[in-house]
Amino acid sequence: MQRGWRGGGSVRFVVHEHHSTRLHFDFRLEIAGVLKSWAIPKGPSMNPSEKRLAVMVGDHPLEYIDFEGIIPDGHYGAGPVLIWDSGEFQAEGDPETALKNGKLSFSLNGKKLKGSFSLVLMKGRGSGKDWLLIKGKDSFAKEDWKIIEELTPTRRKKLIEKIPPCETS
């Protein structure tokens, strides 16, 4: 059995609100001992009619799941990073196989994101790293969903400058 997938059991996820050159949200799922990661320019949505572009980026170490801070100038991704949401996710089937096949369906149990979701590879487009994050139609779906940023002036004052525990070049 692989670390990060417990035979259909729940594992962790995190969404980082990342204020770098442009605000985006980093969506990360614990799979096979790493955080599989996607950058979502508009952030995730609880509205099933809003398909969100999710660009797959490099894997991050599990230690990054708790990272909050200000990445210093001169480092890749410089700017404030904070946890926007976190919790557990449960994949339908083997997530590594699903990712290789271009469609991962899963449930999230976070503070903000709940219920069924899918990541679907956009075949024949760009570099092969463009996916869509799609909310399933379930009791948690919200058609009037609006994303709310967590970085307030008060919260920013509490963040300290630090280098994240991952490759930043």
pLDDT digits (tens, 9 = 90+) for 58-116: 999 999 999 999 999 988 889 999 999 999 999 999 999 999 999 999 999 999 999 99
Q: pLDDT by residue (tens digit) across 117-164? A: 999 999 876 678 999 999 999 999 999 999 999 999 999 999 988 888
Amino acid at 91: A
* Residue 121 · residue 102 · CB < 8 Å: yes
Residues shown for the chain:
169
pLDDT of 167 = 56
Tokens for 20?
């770098």
Q: pTM of whole model > 0.75?
A: yes
How many of the other CB atoms lie within 10 Å of CB of 73? 8
Q: Tell which wins on pLDDT, 19 or 3.
A: 19
CA dist., res. 136 & res. 115, Å (int): 7
Q: What are phi and psi of 88, to 5 degrees?
A: -115, 155
CA dist., res. 141 & res. 114, Å (int): 8
Tokens for 37?
């990661």
pLDDT of 62 = 93
In the three-class reduction of DSSP (H, G, I as helix; E, B as strand; rest coil), residue 120 is classed as strand
**69-71 vs 79-91, strand pairing mode:** antiparallel
| 95 secondary structure, DSSP code | H
How many of the other CB atoms lie within 10 Å of CB of 14? 23
* pLDDT tier, 9 (very low <50, low <70, confident <90, very high otherwise): low
Residue 48: pLDDT above 80?
Answer: yes
